[in-house]
Amino acid sequence: MIILDPKRAFRFPIEAKNISPDIFAKKSSKEIAALQMWEGNRKGALGDLFNIKNDSGSPSEEFTIKIEGDASKLRNIGARMSMGHIVVDGDAGMHLGEDMSGGTITVAGNAGSWAGSKMKGGTIEIKGNAGDYIGAPYRGSTKGMNGGKIIIHGNAGYEVGCFMRNGLIQILGDVGLFAGIHMSNGTIFVQGNSEGRAGAQMINGKIVICGHTPVMPTFTIDSIKPKVKVDGEKIEGPFYRFIGDLADNGNGKLFVSKTKNPHLSPYEKYLE
């Protein structure tokens, strides 16, 4: 295990793409310390920013990087990683796990926007809240998350799962507007409330909301289900099942808690 301990509080964003098990795995502590890092507009070395401790552990232990303390200024932690573990003791910055294809990232605190952008595999677990555009592509791209799993124990912001193509995003708290906008496959599970417009322009895929949410008029009610399956687990309902977004000829499935959304009961007459 490599432990990174910040030498000071960081004031400016730090480009942290080099903090990855794929890059650290075959390097000595001296070589790791020499890796280049940008802090704001200043170029330096990783060893200028962190104390580096090599705690090898057992030979069979999968490679692990642990960042102690606040990492909220660190961007792109775990970018393109394909194996191993990253553990962040505090908060993490934007672009966490960008383009990752394997391994796990665990954040004890909050994470910034665009976590899991272009993600293809692996697992990101955020114990606190997350920002906007989780699993979403950057502006101008239509290639969102295409595999893997993102688990957020707190709340998440706007456009979670934008252009999502596969994988699972699980939010145990609330979510902002436009969850699953443009999604074509995969699953978004929200245990709390949604601000609304979930599934706008979705073509396919599944969104499950256990709390309160408005439903767009471009979705049509299809049935009432006693439960719904998410990642192999049965979630008890009942749930209204809507199909949409019909404005884009979509066939996405939007499951909404019947109990938490009594304002949707007038839709039931269309099932008779």
Across the chain, which has 272 residues, the per-10-residue mean pLDDT values are: 95 96 93 96 96 70 88 97 97 98 98 98 98 96 97 98 98 98 98 98 98 98 97 96 97 98 96 84
Other CB atoms within 10 Å distance of the CB of residue 211: 17
Q: Do 4 and 136 belong together in one domain?
A: no
Q: Do 154 and 205 belong together in one domain?
A: yes
Whether the CA torsion 170, 66, 104, 146 is positive or negative: it is positive
Is 221 among the domain residues?
Answer: yes
Q: Do 140 and 7 belong together in one domain?
A: no
pLDDT at 272: 75
The enclosing H or E element of 193 equals none
pLDDT at 55: 78
Is 45 among the domain residues?
Answer: yes
Q: Do 83 and 4 belong together in one domain?
A: yes
Instruction: Show which of 78, 109, 140 is a domain's final residue.
Output: 109
Provide the domain limits for residue 213. 119-272
Instruction: Indicate the number of domains in the chain.
Output: 2
Q: Do 94 and 136 belong together in one domain?
A: no
Instruction: Show which of 109, 135, 159 is a domain's final residue.
Output: 109
Q: Do 99 and 128 belong together in one domain?
A: no
pLDDT at 60: 41
Is 16 among the domain residues?
Answer: yes
Q: Do 75 and 160 belong together in one domain?
A: no
pLDDT at 26: 86
Q: Do 42 and 147 belong together in one domain?
A: no
| Residues facing residue 126 across a β-bridge | 107, 152
Phi, psi of 30 (to 5 degrees): -65, -40
Global pTM? Answer: 0.96
In tens, the pLDDT along 152-171 reads 999 999 999 999 999 999 99
Instruction: Show which of 90, 109, 128 is a domain's final residue.
Output: 109
Q: d(Cα 258, Cα 32) in Å, to the nearest integer?
A: 53
Q: Do 254 and 130 belong together in one domain?
A: yes
Is 24 among the domain residues?
Answer: yes
Is 182 among the domain residues?
Answer: yes
End-to-end CA distance of the chain: 61
Q: Do 229 and 126 belong together in one domain?
A: yes
Q: d(Cα 256, Cα 75) in Å, to the nearest integer?
A: 35
Is 237 among the domain residues?
Answer: yes
Collapse the DSSP code of 30 into the 3-class scheme (helix H, G, I; strand E, B; otherwise coil) and give the result: helix
pLDDT at 117: 97
pLDDT at 95: 98
Is 114 among the domain residues?
Answer: no
Q: Do 141 and 271 belong together in one domain?
A: yes
Is 251 among the domain residues?
Answer: yes
Q: Do 179 and 137 belong together in one domain?
A: yes
Side chain identity at residue 24, one-letter code: F
